[in-house]
Amino acid sequence: MKINEIDIKIIPDSKGKDTLEAEMESGGIRITASVPAGESTGRNETKVIVPKAALEKASWVKTQMKNQDFITLEQFDGFLNTLDGTPDKSNLGANFILSLSLAFTKLLAKQSNLEVWQLIAKISGSKPGLPLCFFNVIEGGVHTTDSLPFQEYWFIPKTNSPKEALDKCLSLLKFLGEKIQAKYGEVKMGSEGGFTVPSKDAEDGLKILQEVIKERGLDTNLGLDVAASTLFENGSYRMGEKIMSNNDLLSYYQLLTTNYQLFAIEDPFAEEDWDGFAKITKSLGSATWIVGDDLTTTNPKTIKMAAEKEAVNAVIIKTTQIGTVSETIQAANLAKSFGWKIIVANRGEETMDDFIADLAVGLGAAGLKSGCPLQKERLVKYERLLEIESRIKN
Ligand code: PGA
Ligand code: ZN
Structural domains present in the chain: 5-113 (3.30.390.10), 124-393 (3.20.20.120)
CA–CA gap between residue 392 and residue 394 (Å, rounded):
6
Is 318 one of the annotated active-site residues of the chain?
A: yes
Distance of CA 57 from the midpoint of ligand 2 (Å): 31
User: Which element (helix H / strand E) includes 83?
Assistant: helix 73-84
Report residue 73 CA to chain centroid gap: 22
Distance of CA 142 from the midpoint of ligand 1 (Å): 9
CA–CA gap between residue 88 and residue 216 (Å, rounded):
47
CA–CA gap between residue 313 and residue 289 (Å, rounded):
6
Ligand 1 mutation pick, 14, 39, 271, 298, max ligand atoms within 8 A of CB = 39
Q: Is the CB of 40 under 6 A from ligand 1?
A: yes
Q: Is the CB of 38 under 6 A from ligand 1?
A: yes
Q: Is the CB of 264 under 6 A from ligand 1?
A: no
Q: Contact at 8 Å (CB) between 263 and 225?
A: no
Q: Is 250 helix (H, G, I), strand (E, B) or coil?
A: helix
Q: With bands split at pLDDT 50, 70 and 90, how would you rate the model's confidence at 392? A: confident
> Could you tell me which residues come within 8 angstroms of residue 249 by beta carbon, excluding any fewer than 6 positions away?
228, 237, 239, 268, 269, 276
Per residue in 203-234, pLDDT (tens digit) is: 999 999 999 999 999 999 999 999 999 999 99
Task: Report the nearest atom of ligand 1 relative to the CA of 151.
Answer: 8
Q: Are strands 236-239 and 220-225 parallel, antiparallel or unpaired?
A: unpaired
Is 192 one of the annotated active-site residues of the chain?
A: yes
Burial class of 125 by CB neighbour count within 10 A (0 to 12, 13 to 18, 19+): exposed
Task: Report the nearest atom of ligand 1 relative to the CA of 320.
Answer: 3
Per residue in 163-186, pLDDT (tens digit) is: 999 999 999 999 999 999 999 999
pTM (predicted TM-score): 0.98
Residue 146: pLDDT above 90?
no
Distance of CA 106 from the midpoint of ligand 1 (Å): 24
Annotated binding site for Mg(2+): 266, 293
Q: Is the CB of 142 under 6 A from ligand 1?
A: no
